[in-house]
Amino acid sequence: MIAITAITCLFFSLSSSNANTQSITHENCICGGFISNGHNYIGDIGQSWQRRMGDLPKQSSSKQFIDKNGKGGYTFFFDKSVPKKAKEAFKRAVQKWVDLTGVNWTVSDNSGDSLVTFKNLHGSLGLAYSQWINYYGEPSWITSLKIEFNKGTNWFYGENPSKINFMQYDFETVALHELGHCFQLEHDKDPQELMYPTNRNGETKRNITPNAITGALGMKASAVDRKGIHYTPMKWLDNKNKAKDTEPTSNEIEVEENESFVLRLSLNDNGIFYFSYKITGPDSRNFQVNPISGKLSFLLKPDYENPQDQNKDNIYEISVTASNWFLEETEKIRIRVIDLKENGPPIFDYQTSLLHPINLSVTEKSKEIGQLKATDPENDPLRFSLDLGLDSSLFKIDSLSGFLEFKDVPSFDLPLDYNSDNRYDLVISVSDGFSMDKLWARVSITRKKTFENEPNASSPKEARDKWKKDSWFGIYFQHESGWIYHLRLGWCFLVEAENEWIWLWKDELGWIATTREVFPFVFMTDQSQWVFLSTSAKGTFYYSYRENNWSKIKQKIQGSPHH
């Protein structure tokens, strides 16, 4: 997506009997995507080492927040256009501003005074509006706030920024940016700052950066505490109850774990004399600074669960010294690493592989197979589903419980699986909303009674004590002569060979060979070809890949083999 960014201010003059001058300004920030037109920055952005070593966002004016909602501040609310996941991400963004500045902002799902909505913005990611009014002798009161997001954007709403893909724009990043405009902050020239006017797809800025914090706290410092003619000032929230070691300071920067960039030192951007940088302090061994770009970063991406700072509290304390021939300044910086909710994939409670599925069985005329179980490291709710292909269309699964069953009652004599061998193959997926695990299952159909459907009592089936059942070869009768009667192949002469191979002589086929790993594929020696065996209600067939056709195997049901 290519978007041109701009800042447009529309001024209207109004008259009122209660005020000498009254004006309303709508500030419209068209914050876009990858491309910036590069000429919309207002004011001369200077360099200041004492002001957090970077370009600070200029405040639009000395405006004042009011008690708009009657509870001390403003309440953002959503209309029906806002998706549920967007609401959750917006609430996280608001809470970050509240925690860092004490601004009295709350969020309601459906009622409030400051609207959050989705619209077609035609190339822009977000728009922020502030409406303010000025009475003679009073500050400018911000009477309403409004934020619009582009509904045509491919948004990422997730809590874990590592899950974003390169085609998505991070909603929480844009929300933090637009809320900065509600704080009356203008765009920042530094690409690493939150208030930089463009945002790349696949990029996240989940921290309120130092320049933005300083600008917001500057507005807080200039807040008045006296009531005006029509408006009461906002009641800034008291953060005194927060523990001292968790309250951000002007020299403290928050960095999410797995992110190496900290900030950019911009003293060499426009200066005449070149500054060199030096890092000292108890945790200096963990950091580096690029002498050309001024980027300060971790040597290794920080891991919240494995802190490398001196006292293992995830707060890295360093000092950065900038010096040239004439000047030398040192600034102490604390970098706090923020924990991210890292998602572990769900795992089925069964072991399978590409070669070996989990074997399940069900008696014919029964639909229910059983409940599949999986676990998730974070105990996230799980969803089960069937992948398309193989025999999955014959099954259904409860998405919440994982209970698997046939759609219709299966019949042993009328198999519906893709190769009609009464072994149904399917792939089941389980997901926690972020990642998934897959399970290959093979469901076998068994008879209620082994021989209840066999029609001829004169066949060898009467001697049931000599019947054998093999897990892969099937059911067969062992004759004392060495011949067997196989339920699928009929009369065969069986010879067991090495490496678990077996040889079978069948009058209609000659010698055939097979093994557990390949059955029901068999090798026909007389024809020197591999064929595939398949049994259905119409009989037993083999498929010749050479001839590309099916042939039926004639079986002798009654009597005994030839000796």
The neighbouring-strand residues paired with 552 are 541
In CATH terms, the fold of domain 6-244 is: Collagenase (Catalytic Domain) (3.40.390)
**pLDDT (0 to 100) of residue 23:** 30
Residue 120 has pLDDT above 60, yes or no: yes
The neighbouring-strand residues paired with 170 are 156
Domain residue spans in the chain? 6-244, 261-338, 347-446, 460-553
**pLDDT (0 to 100) of residue 555:** 60
231-242 pLDDT tens trace = 889 999 875 434
Can you tell me whether residue 456 is helix, strand or coil? coil
Q: What is the mean pLDDT of residues 9-22?
A: 27
Residue 430 has pLDDT above 70, yes or no: yes
Residue 192 has pLDDT above 90, yes or no: no
Q: Tell me how far apart the alpha carbons of residues 375 and 308 are, in angstroms, rounded to a whole number.
A: 32
For the chain, what is the mean pLDDT? Answer: 78
Residue 458 has pLDDT above 70, yes or no: no
- DSSP string spanning 283-350? TGGGEEE-TTT-EEEESS---TTS--STTSSSEEEEEEEEE-SS-EEEEEEEEEEEP--PPPPPEESS
- Under the banding of pLDDT at 50, 70 and 90, the label for residue 180 is very high
**pLDDT (0 to 100) of residue 556:** 55
**pLDDT (0 to 100) of residue 452:** 38
Say if domain 261-338 classifies as CATH 3.40.50.10330: no
- Residues 6 or more apart in contact with residue 263 via CB below 8 angstroms: 53, 54, 192, 209, 210, 253, 295, 296
Residue 35 has pLDDT above 50, yes or no: no
Residue 470 has pLDDT above 50, yes or no: yes
**pLDDT (0 to 100) of residue 453:** 43
- Under the banding of pLDDT at 50, 70 and 90, the label for residue 435 is confident
Lowest-confidence pick of 10-14, 166-170, 216-220, 257-261:
10-14
Rg (CA), the chain: 37
149-160 pLDDT tens trace = 998 899 999 998
- Other beta carbons within 10 angstroms of residue 124's beta carbon come to 24
- DSSP string spanning 392-431? GGGEEE-TTT-EEEESS---SSS--STTSSSEEEEEEEEE
Same CATH topology for 261-338 and 347-446: the answer is: yes
367-412 pLDDT tens trace = 999 999 999 887 889 999 999 877 889 999 999 999 999 999 998 8
Q: What is the mean pLDDT of residues 522-541?
A: 80
Residue 451 has pLDDT above 50, yes or no: no
**Residue of 422, 450, 390 whose CA lies nearest to 520:** 422
How far from the centroid of its chain's Cα atoms is residue 231's Cα?
Answer: 44
Q: Tell me how far apart the alpha carbons of residues 114 and 120 are, in angstroms, rounded to a whole number.
A: 19
In CATH terms, the fold of domain 347-446 is: Immunoglobulin-like (2.60.40)
The neighbouring-strand residues paired with 504 are 494, 512
- Highest averaged pLDDT of the listed ranges 29-33, 132-136, 457-461: 132-136
**pLDDT (0 to 100) of residue 319:** 93
Dihedral sign for Cα atoms in the order 188, 35, 9, 132: negative
Secondary structure letter of residue 198 according to DSSP: B
Is the entire prediction scored with pTM above 0.75? no
Residue 45 has pLDDT above 60, yes or no: no
Structure tokens at 324: 């040239």
**pLDDT (0 to 100) of residue 336:** 93
Q: Tell me how far apart the alpha carbons of residues 464 and 470 are, in angstroms, rounded to a whole number.
A: 15
**pLDDT (0 to 100) of residue 550:** 85
Lowest-confidence pick of 12-16, 21-25, 143-147, 488-492:
12-16
Higher local confidence (pLDDT), 526 or 313 = 313
**pLDDT (0 to 100) of residue 31:** 55
- Under the banding of pLDDT at 50, 70 and 90, the label for residue 549 is confident
Cβ atoms 357, 425 nearer than 8 A: yes
**pLDDT (0 to 100) of residue 236:** 92
Tell me the residue type at 431.
S
- Under the banding of pLDDT at 50, 70 and 90, the label for residue 37 is very low
Residue 444 has pLDDT above 60, yes or no: yes
Query: H/E/C letters for each residue in 223-255?
Result: CCCCCCCCCCECCCCCCCCCCHHHCCCCCEEEE
**pLDDT (0 to 100) of residue 60:** 38
List Cβ<8 Å contacts ≥24 apart for 396-399. 397/372, 397/428
- Under the banding of pLDDT at 50, 70 and 90, the label for residue 271 is low
Residue 50 has pLDDT above 50, yes or no: no
Higher local confidence (pLDDT), 561 or 508 = 508
